[in-house]
Amino acid sequence: MNKPLAERIRPRIIEDVVGQKHLIGKGKILYSIVNNGRVPNMIFYGPPGVGKTTIANIISKKTEKKLYKLNATSASVSDIKNIVENSNSLLGIKGILLYLDEIQNFNKKQQQALLEYTENGRITLIASTTENPNFYIYKALLSRCMIFEFKPLNVEDIILGLKKAIISLKKELNSTDIIIDEMDLKYISENSSGDLRKAINILEVVILNSYKDKDGNIVVKKETINECSIGDNINYDKFGDSHYDTISAFQKSIRGSDVNAGLHYLARLIKGGDLITICRRLLVIASEDIGLAYPNAITIVKSCVDSAMQLGFPEAKIPLSQAVILLCNSPKSNSAYVGIKKALEDIENKNVGEIPNHIRDGHYSGAKKLGRMVSYKYPYNYNNNYVDQQYLPDNIKTAVYYKPSNNKMEKSMYNYIESIKNNRG
């Protein structure tokens, strides 16, 4: 019993694997690969404890290929070369399967070396990563691999896995029975972040620290579960996929005026302790998604952000919550974002031409001889402080970047400007 329980009861056939039915359900692609024995180079992408290593083991046994396991955090190219050399021996007579965990930790040069061996067929690669491979894997290697995304397990799947673990532990501990309430199993499952290995390890510690009654039953109490620290039930990495996914969901929820979702993703970000990112994103949202529909939003949000930065956690959560609720419930406009985006596209893609002479700087000796400001009309000398004259360069003089969104504030501003343009006096 030196190995953790999760390792001791690791499934040996595909049908015993819990969850991932979108990949290993009957008729699904990975199920077919496992059973037909024709294994391509693959990348398994997903959170820990969801079956990536287990399925690699099953594939190895099914194909009778020699399985080697390396972790990219400590492995080197020489380790791979040593494995390849075994392909010429009896050990590799049916082929070699290399399971490379955390491949995102291999640099480009190391991944290129790996590519050479996968291309000539000396090894079949199954790489696993918790990070999005599209961001971390060398493109040439990525194009030669099938990518399978593993999902966090749901509560029902984890409960099923825990019940199987209880059966195994009962035999190991020579116990008449292990008595644990269904709600306690649900509690462990809900607090395992979709990670079956974590849930099983918690269960093992809990059971080993529970008492036997006079009939030989191990009785698990809620108090014992509480004493075995379960920890956070959200996986959050400031520098990984979860960070960018959470930030994306945060902004989209506010943009979609869903205050409950906005607060939920704020809570995730707070749990990650990333105050600076939260503040920056709130300021962006105030202009990108609310903008001119409620111009005062950015002023209020800036005050909330300043308060949060001065307070620090845990009190910072209160002004941050205020900002999120305000932005969710504010009218929305992306006209400022769209306007500058279009203007930048013209700068980058067109010959926009020179600034018109009459609005160029004329406050220096010799400016008049160059035609600077000669025909400039000072708006304050005209009715309503407006006069019709050209401001854009000739090449793009009819360009339109700003289109008011359909909200009360922008309609009011638009109507005002149009009225003075049409009433020049």
Query: What confidence score (pLDDT) does residue 341 get?
Result: 94
Query: What confidence score (pLDDT) does residue 229 get?
Result: 57
List of residues 6+ apart from 90 with CB closer than 8 A: none
pLDDT band with cut points at 50, 70 and 90 for residue 425: very low
d(CA 407, CA 391): 27
Winning range, highest mean pLDDT, from 92-96, 223-227, 319-323: 319-323
Query: What confidence score (pLDDT) does residue 45 get?
Result: 92
Query: What confidence score (pLDDT) does residue 423 get?
Result: 76
Q: Is the pLDDT of residue 271 over 90?
A: no
Q: Where are the beta strands (DSSP E) in 6-120?
A: 42-45, 66-71, 96-101
Considering only CA atoms, which of 263, 277, 248, 257 is closest in space to residue 321?
263
Least confident of 109-123, 136-150, 158-172, 181-195: 109-123
Query: What confidence score (pLDDT) does residue 320 get?
Result: 97
The alpha carbon of residue 147 and the mean position of all alpha carbons in its chain are separated, in whole angstroms, by 17
Structure tokens belonging to residue 45? 């992408």
Structure tokens belonging to residue 419? 């009225």
Query: What confidence score (pLDDT) does residue 239 get?
Result: 56
List of residues 6+ apart from 373 with CB closer than 8 A: 357, 358, 359, 360, 361, 362, 367
pLDDT band with cut points at 50, 70 and 90 for residue 284: very high
Q: Is the pLDDT of residue 95 over 80?
A: no
Query: What confidence score (pLDDT) does residue 259 get?
Result: 94
Query: What confidence score (pLDDT) does residue 116 get?
Result: 82
The residue behind tokens 């490379």 is: 100
Could you please report the per-residue DSSP string of 149-180? Answer: EPPPPPHHHHHHHHHHHHHHHHHHTT-SEEE-
The secondary structure element, H or E, covering residue 212 is: strand 211-212
Q: Enumerate the H helices of 222-271 as residue ranges.
A: 222-227, 241-255, 259-271
Q: Is the pLDDT of residue 140 over 80?
A: yes
Once rounded to an integer, what is the mean pLDDT over residues 2-29? 88
What is the strand order of the sheet 146-149 is part of? 66-71, 96-101, 124-129, 42-45, 146-149
pLDDT digit string (tens) for 26-65? 889 999 988 887 889 999 998 888 999 999 989 888 887 8
d(CA 247, CA 224): 36
Query: What confidence score (pLDDT) does residue 283 get?
Result: 96
pLDDT digit string (tens) for 236-260? 555 566 788 889 999 999 999 999 9
d(CA 136, CA 132): 7
Considering only CA atoms, which of 169, 271, 106, 334 is closest in space to residue 98?
106
Considering only residues 163 and 238, tell me which one the structure prediction assigns the higher pLDDT.
163
pLDDT digit string (tens) for 306-325? 999 999 889 999 999 999 99
Once rounded to an integer, what is the mean pLDDT over residues 328-352? 93
* CA torsion, ordered 324, 327, 330, 333, to nearest 10 deg: -160
pLDDT band with cut points at 50, 70 and 90 for residue 332: very high
Query: What confidence score (pLDDT) does residue 236 get?
Result: 56
Structure tokens belonging to residue 35? 């059973």
Query: What confidence score (pLDDT) does residue 174 get?
Result: 77
Query: What confidence score (pLDDT) does residue 396 get?
Result: 92
Domains plus CATH for the chain? 20-149 (3.40.50.300), 155-227 (1.10.8.60), 241-328 (1.20.272.10), 335-422 (1.10.3710.10)
